[in-house]
Chains A and B, each alone.
Chain A
């Protein structure tokens, strides 16, 4: 059994490992591993972003301009895999590593050595995935959903991608077990479940989702592997198999996966909005139950991704109505965020700007999701740019905006320095304007019938594509400003020194620690004072 982080191993010092290798490669410290995850995520965000720019450059004008169509298809495929598994998920795991122990009053994660292992699998998984770009036959080009038969018609890249997915899955499962074990066993005395910060709650539920669906993905891709290399016919109609079965198995993983990428975002926004509204979160328990409801519903809606494959009317109706049900708990959340802000003494520092931007823009993505849930309408929208617009609203202005908000919110606690607020606001406004220039026209393109994943298109779609590409490059350049803000704060340390509380009315255990948070925190469990907690009095 792995070692445990407990209070009996004399951490009454604050000595970091001295050597670079020892500190970063052999680390078992939740803060260092959190940093590793966040840095890895940023690198993947920039790599995936560069691929997105290849896509938008090719689509700037109709006709084949810059890249070979096969390479274009590889770009759409690898962009998605890198952004989902390399950027968004590791960013949330990084935030979980940094914040969950500090938020529940624990000295570290429950299983620190496994934590190190969870992280260090990731660079190898992505080295495997990205190496396919340099292979004969190129990178996978069948879309991130890996639908057979297309996905296994490529070269040997299939095996690389499948092993990469296996490794990412192993990393995620170990991370999820660690997070659940930490939350269930490492809370300081008095930190009852219904006093935990919402971010911790959303991660607890997300971790259960991960454990439930990652093996399903592994099973699906393993069957792809044996179909390709070992003569089975799970998904080959010629051998008596069923290609549609893959889609069912994939989306049984895929839809909960979507919520894995948004529930922690809900948690982050639920931390930030009360702080900058100077009010407690409206409806704390409703938020927790809504999160659990969304997680449950995520398991019974998968076939809404595949209405057009042909399924019985009863199936269509079930999946349509089940999908629409998700709007209820999600609506509860949006209502509660607005009600938290209602008559609050609001200020708009950068984290709050990103959080408010999240609430508005994620809701747009949610509504276009509802449109896609309507079966007869979906027959028109399926596989068009409308879908692309929808999921980029929920993933970029949803998940990624929340990650940006979280980084600005907790950066002073991590580094002991304030970031440059003026540049942060510039980053927010430029991001918000450009991301809408980038993705809003894609709704119109989709409604007009432009299919997704094509390098060339009808000249009728030219204007909106040009606008979208301009937005794409502007958004990409804006993110370099984010990188500069991070270098300025973390490396050059030019910002003002952060206070312990950082924000005027931030509540929670993490704000009782000095800034920067010491290398070892809560080596003896803190005494919980309900007034320090954001939700201390909910059970009274």
Chain B
């Protein structure tokens, strides 16, 4: 795997995992503070 592809892969992985974390936090906070 060349370097540019590796960098792009790391970027995609971080964005995807960060999205999961934000979605989980978001769900919990929205559920806790607005949907109760």
- Is this pair of chains taken from one and the same complex? yes
- Are B13 and A181 closer than 8 Å at their CB atoms? yes
Partner of A216, one of B3, B11, B28: B28
- Are B3 and A8 closer than 8 Å at their CB atoms? yes
- Are A223 and B6 closer than 8 Å at their CB atoms? no
Q: Taking each of A173, A211, A215, A218, which has the highest tally of chain B beta carbons within 10 Å of its own beta carbon?
A: A215
Q: Is A57 an interface residue (CB 8 A)?
A: no
Q: Is A177 an interface residue (CB 8 A)?
A: yes
A185-B6, A186-B6, A215-B24 known; 10 new pairs, CB 8 Å cut-off, are A4-B10, A7-B3, A8-B3, A180-B13, A180-B17, A181-B10, A189-B1, A212-B24, A215-B21, A219-B32
Interface size class of B (residues with CB under 8 A): 10 to 19
Cα A1 to Cα B14 in complex, Å, equals 10
Interface string of A184-215 (1 = CB under 8 A from B): 11100100000000000000000000011001
- Are A177 and B14 closer than 8 Å at their CB atoms? yes
- Are A1 and B11 closer than 8 Å at their CB atoms? yes
Q: What are the 10 A-B residue pairs with the smallest beta carbon separation, nearest first?
A: A219-B28, A215-B24, A185-B9, A181-B13, A215-B25, A177-B17, A110-B10, A185-B10, A6-B3, A181-B10
Cα A212 to Cα B24 in complex, Å, equals 8
What number of residue pairs across chains A and B have CB atoms under 8 A from each other? Answer: 60
Cα A223 to Cα B30 in complex, Å, equals 12
- Are A223 and B7 closer than 8 Å at their CB atoms? no
Q: Taking each of B7, B9, B14, which has the highest tally of chain A beta carbons within 10 Å of its own beta carbon?
A: B14
Among residues of B, the one whose C-beta sits closest to the C-beta of A2 is B14
Contact partners of B14 in chain A: CB under 8 A = 1, 111, 177, 181
Contact partners of A173 in chain B: CB under 8 A = 21
Contact partners of B32 in chain A: CB under 8 A = 219, 222-223, 234
Contact partners of A185 in chain B: CB under 8 A = 1, 6, 9-10, 13
A6 and B29 in contact, given A177-B17, A184-B13, A211-B17 (Cβ under 8 angstroms): no
